[in-house]
Amino acid sequence: MEDVAKLAGVTKMTVSRALHQPSKVAEATRERIEWAIGQTGFVANLNAGSLSSQKTRIIAALVPTFQHAVFAETIQGISDVIRPRGFHLLVADTQHSQREEHDLVQAFLARRPEALVLTGIRHSAATRNVLMRARIPIVETWETTGQPIDMAVGISNFDAAVAMVRSLHAAGYRRIGFVNGRLANNERVQLRAKGYEAALAELDMGPPVEVVIEQEPVRIEHGERALAELLAIEPGIDAVFCANDIFAAGVLIESRRRSISVPDRLGIAGFHDLDIARLTTPQLTTVKVPAYDIGRLSAQMVVDRLDGKPAAGPTIELDFSILRRGSTR
């Protein structure tokens, strides 16, 4: 910057102003500075600026994995809001591990981001501890059940599962099985299981019939196997609710293989409304979660807070919707 300043016949300070508050620099001076920047190929060092101004213009986000379309949507939502405001996005995946999450939170805080967006509302005590001390806006996303550290944006996975079971019941299904993904450190799927169980009890539909698929990443084949396991446990099931569309697609494939007619003899429901949900035959009944909006609103809360605007609330609970399609009556 010194070089640019000399070339333009001013001091660093004026160059800095020309860059950040151009209106406070005389037209002619600014032009000389711009010319000098072009000559030298100068690219300001934001780190130095951050150190001095105590503003990093960085927002950090943690997702369980990049490979799941719904989290990619959430990242897109965050990015779309913060980009126009000059924030940069630092991201990492926790791989559903609380230990990774803790290490990452710690490591990210060392970069002094101006805000942090996390996935889920359950974190290790140590993580919560570090987070509370951080004194920056923190948004927990995707799940709203529980005490947020600061702010939260999401849906109630519990309610969503209850709603789906009720919907299946209303369609006449009476013995509903449930296929879930790995529960460890994933409160979203844990809550879906609880919702399923609660709804069964409420509607007096007998004991839960559940299969948990531990393998990651989630694959269609696991859904195929899940139906076999479910039928082994309870041959009388007439519907299967899956914690994600991939499993549901697998259940559908296995049903076809076994010549079980869908949706008549077996109803199938998924979760997320991924692309594949509309691609199967019949199309999948599923729960649509506003993943993009979760990201968008999280970022919005953050930037509003940083702008000193009044908060939209500590927690924003978004609507999910039950999409009834051909895989259920």
Partner DNA sequence: GTGAAAGCGCTAACAG
Partner DNA sequence: CTGTTAGCGCTTTCAC
- For residue 270, which of 284, 280, 282 has the smallest C-alpha distance? 284
- For residue 67, which of 94, 87, 88, 90 has the smallest C-alpha distance? 94
Q: Does 261 bind its own copies (CB under 8 A)?
A: no
Out of its own copies, DNA, none, what residue 11 binds, judged by CB under 5 to 8 A for its kind, is DNA
Size of the site for DNA (CB under 7 A): 28
Q: Does 66 bind its own copies (CB under 8 A)?
A: yes
Helices (H), the chain: 2-8, 12-20, 27-40, 46-53, 69-82, 98-109, 125-134, 157-170, 187-202, 220-233, 245-257, 291-306
Distance CA 204, CA 201 (A): 5
Q: What is the dihedral of CA 299, 315, 244, 194, to 10 degrees?
A: 160
Q: In a 10 Å sphere around its CB, with 0-12 CB exposed, 13-18 middle and 19+ buried, how is residue 323 labelled?
A: middle
Least distance (Å) between residue 91 CB and DNA: 23
- Sign of the torsion formed by the C-alpha atoms of 275, 278, 279 and 283: positive
- For residue 298, which of 272, 271, 317 has the smallest C-alpha distance? 317
- For residue 282, which of 269, 297, 298 has the smallest C-alpha distance? 269
Q: What are φ and ψ of residue 140, in 5° steps?
A: -100, 135
Out of DNA, its own copies, none, what residue 14 binds, judged by CB under 5 to 8 A for its kind, is DNA
Stretch that binds DNA, among 38-46, 65-73, 75-83, 127-135 (CB under 7 A): 38-46
User: In the complex with its own copies, which residue's Cβ is closer, 16 or 65?
Assistant: 65
Q: Does 233 bind its own copies (CB under 8 A)?
A: no
User: In the complex with DNA, which residue's Cβ is closer, 38 or 206?
Assistant: 38
Longest dimension (CA), the chain: 86
Out of DNA, its own copies, none, what residue 65 binds, judged by CB under 5 to 8 A for its kind, is its own copies
Out of its own copies, DNA, none, what residue 91 binds, judged by CB under 5 to 8 A for its kind, is its own copies
Least distance (Å) between residue 10 CB and DNA: 4
Q: Does 108 bind its own copies (CB under 8 A)?
A: yes
User: In the complex with DNA, which residue's Cβ is closer, 1 or 153?
Assistant: 1
User: In the complex with its own copies, which residue's Cβ is closer, 46 or 203?
Assistant: 46
Q: Does 37 bind its own copies (CB under 8 A)?
A: no
Selected from 278, 304, 326, 329, the binder of its own copies by CB under 8 A is 278
Q: Does 17 bind DNA (CB under 7 A)?
A: yes
Are 290 and 306 in contact, with CB atoms under 8 Å apart? no
Query: Site residues (CB under 8 A) for its own copies?
Result: 41, 43-48, 50-51, 56, 65-67, 69, 72-73, 75-76, 79, 83, 88-93, 106-112, 130, 133, 220, 246, 249, 253, 274-276, 278-281
